[in-house]
Amino acid sequence: MKGSGKRRLIVLGAASALSVVGIAYLATKAATLEAGWALAAATSPLAVRCLVIIAAGMVALGLVVCALFRARPGRRGTGARAAGIAADEGGTAAVEMALLFPFALMIFLIITQAALLFNANVVVHYAAYCAARVATTAVPLEIGDELRNLVYNPEVATNPPSEKLELIRRAAVLALVPISASLEDASANGDLPGAGGGTAVESQTKSVFERLGGDAEPWFRRIRKQYNYANAYAKIDLAKPGHWRTGDRDSDCPYRHQRQGDWTAWGWEYHPYCPFHDERMDYWYWEDLHVRLVYRYLLEVPLAARLMGEACEVPGRRGKSFCQEIKVITTLSNEGGPEIRPRD
């Protein structure tokens, strides 16, 4: 095998080994962290599938390397020199290198894409956790007509729309920026969720930078395209209150109760009181909040993306694109105030 072929194999092997070491470090770090999202990310079905692909790819790449090194010509002694051209196996090794190197390159590309997908899965889990963490603080706030533990129902048109849901969504979008592809203008497709957004984040960022004496424009200009993609292809849902999911929301309304009836030896008679019905979702102050994040991650490693993803369309990109949909549900308890807790 020629020196250039050896160097290529060494580079592929070193890069693959680096990917494996990085993934092993992330998985080990996640297992030792107390944060539930990190362990859930490292043990999710998608993460396990990526780890299996990486391990199988490393084994296959090792077999290819061994086969190529075994096929290299041995040193020729005096007798071999007498044999002349008939004893020269350099041409055979070159042909085998030409045949096996593309296969080894393909394995390397699959390992790289699996490593990037594993990392994206971790980031999406973290983004869902960020959204859930904001939900635990935003839901108990009083923002306009959305009083404590009341959130506008996204299935009912309201004007203005729910600011609490927007805060939750924005937290996830910002966390997804590092793994997002570039998107020139999300408003070009009105069907995209969050199309044309980002102005609120940009204005808030500028105000923060101004208070610190800096300029936000260069920073936001670098991430604007990635923000557009995350803003367009991240779907965040806040699960409806538990008593809505039971199918009989009025019988166990958690928001407040109204005393009715005459005084008896047993005290007042309490009746559920749910005045908001479909327009506003009402949560118990101790209720678990379930945030669901669905993100369309764009696979961009040549050839490997076609094998590991599904065909999708991204505005502004020519040819076929391939994506992997990542779904995560994160649950944190509500931190609303106890003053709305109904009496026993």
- What are the beta bridge partners of residue 289? 332
What residue spans define the domains of the chain? 3-73+89-125
* SS3 labels along the chain: CCHHHHHHHHHHHHHHHHHHHHHHHHHHHHHHCCCHHHHHHHHCHHHHHHHHHHHHHHHHHHHHHHHHHHCCCCCCCHHHHHHHHHHCCHHHHHHHHHHHHHHHHHHHHHHHHHHHHHHHHHHHHHHHHHHHHHHHHHCCCCECCECCCEEECCCCCCCCCCHHHHHHHHHHHHHHHHHCCCCCCHHHCCCCCCCCCCHHHHHHHHHHHHHCCCCCHHHHHHHHHHHHHHHHHEEEEECCCHHHHCCCCCCCCCCEEEEEEEEECCEEEEEEECCCCCCEEECCCCCEEEEEEEEEEEECCCCHHHHHCEEECCCCCCCCEEEEEEEEEEEEECCCCHHHCCCC
Rg of the chain over CA atoms, in angstroms? 29
pLDDT number for residue 65: 72
Residues 193 and 152: their CA atoms lie apart, in Å, by 18
pLDDT number for residue 243: 79
pTM for the structure as a whole: 0.75
pLDDT number for residue 313: 87
Q: Residue 73: CB partners within 8 Å, gap ≥ 6?
A: 88, 89, 90, 92, 93
pLDDT number for residue 193: 44
Residues 292 and 330: their CA atoms lie apart, in Å, by 7
CB 231 within 8 A of CB 194: yes
pLDDT number for residue 189: 43
pLDDT number for residue 194: 45
pLDDT number for residue 138: 92
Task: Show pLDDT as tens, one digit a residue, over the chain (344 residues).
Answer: 455 555 665 666 666 667 667 666 666 665 555 567 788 888 889 999 998 998 898 888 888 777 766 655 554 454 545 455 445 555 555 666 666 778 888 888 998 899 899 999 999 999 999 999 999 999 998 888 888 888 998 888 777 788 999 999 989 998 999 999 988 765 544 334 444 455 666 676 677 777 777 777 777 777 888 888 999 999 999 999 887 877 666 666 665 555 555 555 555 555 556 666 678 888 887 888 999 999 999 999 988 999 899 999 888 787 789 999 999 999 998 876 554 444 33
pLDDT number for residue 207: 74
Q: Residue 321: CB partners within 8 Å, gap ≥ 6?
A: 298, 305, 311, 312, 313, 314
pLDDT number for residue 38: 81
pLDDT number for residue 82: 46
State whether the Cα torsion 277-281-286-292 is positive or negative: positive
pLDDT number for residue 89: 54
